[in-house]
Structure 1
Amino acid sequence: MAGVLIRMKLRIIRNSMTGGKAAWMVIGGVFGIVFAAATIALAFARLDTPGLTADLLATTYLLWMLGWMVGPLWGGSPVLRVDQFALLPLERRRLALGLLAAAFVGITTVVTALAFLSLVVHGIRTGAAPALVSVPAAAAQLVFVVLLSRVTHALFGAVAGSRFGAAITGVLFAGMLVLTQSGWMLIVAVAYSRVLENGFSTFVSTAVRVLPSGWGVVAVDAAGRGDWWQSLGALAGLLALCALLLLTWSRALNRPRQGRSVVRGSARGAPPARGLYSGTTGAVLRKELRTWLRDPQRVTMAVTAVAWALGTALLPLTFAAKGLLPWAGPALPVMAAVCAYNLYSQDGTSLWLTLTTGSQRADVRGRQWAFVLIFGPITTAVSIAFTAYSGYSWAWPWVAALAPALLGGSVGLMAYASVTALVPGPDAHKRPDNPLERADTTGQSNALFWVALVPALPAAAAVTTGTLLDSPALRWLGAPIGVATGVLLARWLGRIAADRLTANGPELLFLVRTGRPDSPTKTADEPGVGARAKPVLTKRQEATVVLSWIFGSLALVPQGLLPLLFLLSGQQAKSWFLALYLPHPWSWVCAAVMIPIGLALYTRAIRLSSGRSRRPRNGQSPEADGEVADPPGTDHKEPEPV
């Protein structure tokens, strides 16, 4: 059984490593090897504080364990899913053992095994007896994280369809985003707290060792002290925990298939609709508000946006920096627009109701009003509370100017992108348990995030001018400019979205239902077409798109914009910012050069993704790139037999 499942998984991985997915796998493997090498290097570090190396290793293993736990949320679902074997007459424990053996065949498992070699290195440096204990401890730790990931995936699939599970999903997903973009702040916090000099506190040191991820370190250190009862007890506890997880997982495989959870509600007894809630637009608004509160996917999107904004602003508090607190409110609607822009794809084929009733304009406006009523009060409350807590009085004109401009711009862009950049995904009644196994909007979301910042430019220009001229009246003029900009953009982009939905509604419905445009030879600018056909890219071009998104983001934000802000504010948090390690004149040059490099890579990714750069070069035929361009009017016919 194990051999068959391993060969099956290898065949699936080999056949699925195409284009962008292969590039993501290679890039993920490279980053994983880098992190594993850093973990091994930590075991070789010579620190003066006794026990600090063991504490750092236990903390690092805790991070690896958390990574395996949130792997299913991040999209790391197993290649061989349990439901694929539901109809086979197999014993559940035998199937669990076979799937467990197949789980060890993969890039993530190999990378984690390399990282856990650091425990063997730590044991060898401690002595001969700890070295002998470290080998089974590292092996048991690897089995533990793999089993924990499988059990977490099973439990997550059971609760993902409820609103509570959707809220947890949003918080975890936002946490992963915050750590991915701002994890360097934790390094600054460690350096700021002088952990490398003073060591961990007794409470923290005990906590990281009590958790199962630190039991391997406990076993090795106890063997080094000659405390064999504690060493063997830690090893036995780790093995017993593995057996318990295996039993739990095998029982979960036997769980009968259940219907999807339904969030029930009732509108009986509701007062008559008046004002904003009346008419066709009011009906759509009421429907959208209930959807935001009841649909688990909408709950995930709303919680992700709020948790991301709060986490991004609060993370610098780990080293007593309040500089990002005033910007939490203005940033919240930007992320909300990024999360919620693909609404028509998420609703699936229910779009035909809107088209057959002729309520396209009311549908767009109702969705916009629902977005405002959901995120407007939250944006206002976060802006006021965080700015007041920061104590920065100079930030009030900025927040008053940027928050309404970004909120209104996000309302308009959300509606416009939902119609013009729709990405088809599974219909609402066919949604998988994993919230990330849906429409792939990575490229569109990256582009929309930066476009959503543009509405703030007029108001920011007014506040900047008032600051330079030391004019309070001009600084506060940014607030009405921001409100006017937000209202105008929301109405204008909403009107364009409604017109596009009216003109191209049937084509959008076809795209949502089938996952492909109505005609691969037409573009979205031609009449009767709702979306541009996705260009067919070569493997090299798909890899280029993925690499451009990754390195464009790295060059633009952490190596360009953030160092520039640090140089302007006089902060000295070097961390991994290249510009801050250079001499004074060249640090400005490096930060300034990284910004256009990042923008150029973003432009390259967008052009390749949209197919606009697929033109024959001078003196070269289209066949040179593997593309054959037929002349217009060419009639493809089979050759007649001779």
Structure 2
Amino acid sequence: MSTYPFAPGPLTGTLGRIAVPAQMRTAMLRRSLRENPGPTVAGLTGLLAAAWLIRYALRGDQHTLALLVGAWVLGWIVLPLLLGGGQGRVRPAHLRLEPIAGLPAAIGLLAASAIGIGPAVSLVALAALPVHAARHGAAAILVAASGAVLLWLLGLIGSAIALEVVGHAGGPAGALLTGIFTGTAMGVAGSLWAVFPWVSVLLVGAPDEVVRAMRYVPSSWPLSAVTGSPGRGAGMMAALAGVVVLCAAAYILLVRRMVTTGVPFRPRGTTAAPLPRRTDSGPAGPRGTTAAPSAGVGRAQSGWLGWVPAPTRAVAGRELRAWLRHPLRLQYLAFAVVYGALLAGAPLLSDVDLLLPWAGPLAVLGAAAMSAGLVGLDGTALWLPFTTPGGERAEVRGRALAWLVLVTPIGVLLTVAGVVLAPDVDALVALATLPALLGAGASVPVWVSLLRVRPAADPRHPTSADNPTDIVSVLVATGAGLLTAAPVLALAVWGPPWVAPLMPAVGLLCGAAVCWGGVWLADERLARRGTEVLAAAGQRSRPPETVIPLKWDAQWYRENRATAWALALLTVGWIPVVPQGVMVLAFGIDGGWIVASHLDGGARTAVGLAMVALGGAMLLAGLVLWGRRPQPGSSPHARPASGEPG
């Protein structure tokens, strides 16, 4: 009997078993669309982009269109890794108890993956190929349509492989790969302004070097097959089909291994190895990964941290080992380094080297943001500080010290490298903000992670798919770093010239003050609410999401006002940020309804900045309210659970 409550209906045999994953995915999609409006909004945005691509295909350049189509397919593969696309999908591990394996399982999983907003929007976008080929006749339309289907299959299979291999990779190697991969994608996306001149050139007509390079890009083969000779076109279509077949074969092997063993690439009959239960710093907790401090670690590190109390020294040593061994911590660190380096280095494509000295501060700020949920990775091992005299203080200070010891060399090296590569750029402001960001990053994330604990599903077997980082915590940690560096930036922008030599001292003082304040807040939180923090870290199942009605419901609004206001702020908050602020400040766009466009000079800039600040405050308030929304079952009008009295 099937272990899932989805009967194949009238279908029997292998065909009926293939239909099971599709039915499961249909039910998941229907529920997710009801509970979360995000996919619907993303789908509408994707349809607008697909419509623009089809419009460009009517009269645009052939090679530029092929490049845009290739970018679309690549984005289909990459974006689910960045936006949590692994949630709500049917995975090979879900079929381990089903009487289906190998080719039927792969076909069923691909059929399930094809059910969703993303695949449907991508199919619409790839219709740009036959639209562009229509100028060459009916036969060209058929060839381009076949190529579009093959590219769609390539994106579908590639996304499934990426989500299963990269998105669920375990161990240090998989964590580093995921961190580098996501950091590269986010860094390039964050530097679009630097590559915009290149994009504008491509939209007019692809340069000769791009045309030559596109010969080796599969997205250009369908259109090249249309415009080339019949023999050359047949060869290109056969090559594209061969790429799809190779990817499908790799996916079949991956599904077979996953259904059999539950892990992608391990010898048959083995299981994923848990994190070490005992390290040099002592035994691990009952369900977590945090090791207890030991006197041996304190003696071993007394040479280079002799001025630090022994308990704090022991916690710092344990944390440094965790940073080098824990997969999610390695992923966070790799992401921060790659992201900061690309944000500072990608503008070199447009001959802009002003940001190179900021590689270090940007990486430090990213590391602080990605450290805002580390307490949730420790599980119930957090009971260890409560059993040691002064353990709470040592826990907080040891975590902050370990972060400083690990991140400071990275920030300094990247900053120095930027100064060396751009000797003509004034790096004083970047050097002055570095200690401020280090001070805030060492302490504020510790406090935030204790304030908003988001536990991992299983801290002993963490993977990148179990990322428990909370977006509100990330924004708070990032905002704390920016506020700490604000005095230095204010002196650089509005201060008189003679205060420039004082900026490093100001940055150091601001960093020290915020570091002390964050440590004090974390001490108070762990000492006064330790039991609450421990209970939150021990949670293994997250509460169900609040169901949002698709039509007006006055009763639901009365019971979920925080959720309604959160949705309103998250929707309206983008208006002052983008059209009223960024479009005026960055692109100089005017309009009758844009307030800043009616002003000139400093007033225009001030109003634009105020609009960005207002929108940011609205978005942050919306995120906070969304985090405080009532959970199902907490309302007095909620239905009682089965077996409980009404």
TM-score (normalizing by structure 1):
0.80
Is structure 2 residue 163 aligned with structure 1 residue 163?
Answer: no
Confirm or deny that 1:379 pairs with 2:411. Answer: yes
State the one-letter code of the partner of 1:338: A
Aligned counterpart in structure 2 of residue 105 of structure 1, from 115, 130, 137: 115
- Cα drift, residue 93 of structure 1: 0.7
Describe the superposition over 1:472-497 as per-residue Cα deviations: whole angstroms up to 9, x where unpaired. xx211121121122112212321221
Which residue identity does 2:241 align to in structure 1?
A: L
**RMSD after superposition:** 3.6
The one-letter code matched in structure 1 to 2:68 is T
SS at match of 1:73: helix
Instruction: Write the distance in 2 (CA, Å) between the matches of 1:92 and 1:537.
Output: 51
Q: Aligned match of 2:212 in 183, 206, 213? A: 206
Give 1:115 shift: 0.6
Q: Of 486, 490, 497, which residue of structure 2 is paired with 1:470?
A: 497
Residue aligning to 1:556: 577
Letter in 2 for 1:15: R
Paired residue total: 575
Change in Cα spacing, 1:504 to 1:197, as seen in structure 2 (3 Å) is: closer
Q: Deviations over 1:238-276 (max 9, x none)?
A: 223322222221221221234225677975999833141
Matched, 1:499 2:524: yes
Which letter maps to 1:390?
A
In structure 1, C-alpha distance between the alignment counterparts of 2:485 and 2:578, rounded to whole Å: 18
In structure 2, distance between residues paired with 1:494 and 1:517: 29
Q: Deviations over 1:165-202 (max 9, x none)?
A: 211211222233334444343223333xx445563233
Contact map agreement 2:574 2:615 (CA 8 A) in 1:
yes
Report the secondary structure of 1:105's partner residue: coil
Distance 1:317 1:554, change over 3 A: farther
- State the shift of 1:103 in Å: 2.0
User: What does residue 65 of structure 2 align with?
Assistant: 57
- Cα distance, 1:546–1:302 mapped onto 2, change above 3 Å: farther
- Counterpart AA for 1:250: I
- Contact map agreement 1:541 1:608 (CA 8 A) in 2: yes
For the residue of structure 2 that corresponds to 1:456, the secondary structure is helix
Counterpart residue identity of residue 38, structure 2: W
Indicate yes or no: 2:53 matched with 1:39.
yes
Q: CA offsets, 1:337-394, max 9 Å, x none?
A: 110111110111211222223411111111111110111111122223213433455x
What is aligned with 2:145?
A: 135
- Rounded to whole Å, the distance in 2 between the matches of 1:115 and 1:591 is 35
How far apart, CA to CA, are the structure 2 residues paired with 1:60 and 1:208? 11
Residue 480 of structure 1 aligns with an amino acid whose one-letter code is A
Cα distance in 2 for partners of 1:457, 1:161 equals: 39
Q: What secondary structure sits across from 2:529 in the alignment?
A: helix
TM-fit CA distance, 1:463: 3.8
In 2, Cα distance between the equivalents of 1:69 and 1:451?
A: 33
Deviation at 1:436, TM superposition (A): 4.3
- Structure 1 residue matching 2:320: 3-state secondary structure: helix
> Of residues 236, 249, 252 in structure 1, which corresponds to 2:251?
249
Name the CA distance, whole Å, in 2 between partners of 1:273 and 1:497: 25
Q: Which runs of structure 2 are paired with 1:282-297 in the superposition (5 Å)?
A: 282-297=313-328
Equivalences for 1:460-609 in 2 at 5 Å? 460-466=489-495, 469-471=496-498, 474-514=499-539, 542=563, 545=566, 548-549=569-570, 552=573, 555-556=576-577, 560=581, 564=585, 585=600, 588=605, 591-592=608-609, 594-606=611-623, 608-609=625-626
Counterpart AA for 2:250: T
In 2, Cα distance between equivalents of 1:31 and 1:120:
22
Q: Secondary structure at the match of 1:90?
A: coil
- The alpha-carbon distance between structure 1 residues 592 and 499, as it changes in their structure 2 partners (threshold 3 A), is closer
Contact 1:144 1:238 in 2 (8 A): no
Secondary structure of the equivalent of 1:17? helix
User: Secondary structure at the residue paired with 1:452?
Assistant: helix
- 1:575 positional shift: 13
Does the C-alpha gap of structure 1 residues 127 and 172 become closer, same or farther in structure 2, counting only changes over 3 Å? Answer: same
Asked whether the 8 Å contact 1:355–1:506 carries over to 2, the reply is no
Match of 1:351 among 382, 385, 400: 382
Q: Which of 223, 245, 255 matches 1:217?
A: 223
- 2:300 is matched with 272
Which residue type is aligned with residue 605 of structure 1?
G
Separation (CA, whole Å) in 2 of partners of 1:538 and 1:339: 34
Aligned equivalents of 1:558 and 1:377: distance in 2? 39
Cα distance change, pair 482–382 in 1 and its aligned pair in 2 (3 A): same
The answer to whether residue 81 in structure 2 is matched with residue 70 in structure 1 is: no
Q: Which residue of 1 aligns with 2:343?
A: 312
Contact 2:328 2:467 in 1 (8 A): no
Indicate the larger mover: 363-372 or 308-317: 308-317
- Counterparts of 2:501 and 2:507, CA distance in 1: 10
User: Structure 2 unaligned runs (5+)?
Assistant: 1-15, 263-269, 282-295, 544-555, 639-643
Match of 1:618 in 2: none
C-alpha separation between the residues in 2 aligned to 1:326 and 1:556?
27
109, 119, 123: which is aligned to 2:129? Answer: 119
Note closer, same or farther for the CA distance 1:608–1:426 as it changes in structure 2 (3 Å cut). Answer: same
Other structure's SS at 1:453 match:
helix
CA contact (8 A) 1:443 1:549 kept: no
C-alpha contact (below 8 Å) 2:186/2:339 kept by paired residues: yes
Q: What's the CA shift string for 1:211-239, capped at 9, x where partnerless?
A: 223322222222xxxx1112122222222
AA at the equivalent of 2:505: P
Gaps of 5+ in 1: 47-52, 519-534, 567-571, 615-625, 631-636
Contact 2:368 2:445 in 1 (8 A): yes
Aligned CA distance change for structure 1 residues 350 and 112 (closer, same or farther; 3 Å):
same
Q: Cα distance 1:489–1:392, how it changes in 2: closer, same or farther (>3 A)? A: same
Q: Residue deviations 1:278-298, cap 9 Å, x none?
A: 711111111111111111111
Deviation at 1:517, TM superposition (A): 11
Superposed counterparts of 1:292-441, under 5 Å:
292-358=323-389, 359-393=391-425, 395-431=426-462, 433=463, 435-439=464-468, 441=470
Q: Kindly indicate whether the alpha-carbon contact (under 8 Å) linking 1:563 and 1:580 is maintained by their aligned counterparts in 2.
A: no
CA distance change for structure 1 residues 352 and 267 in 2, over 3 Å: closer, same or farther? closer
Question: In the TM superposition, what is the alpha-carbon distance from 1:582 to its structure 2 partner?
Answer: 5.5
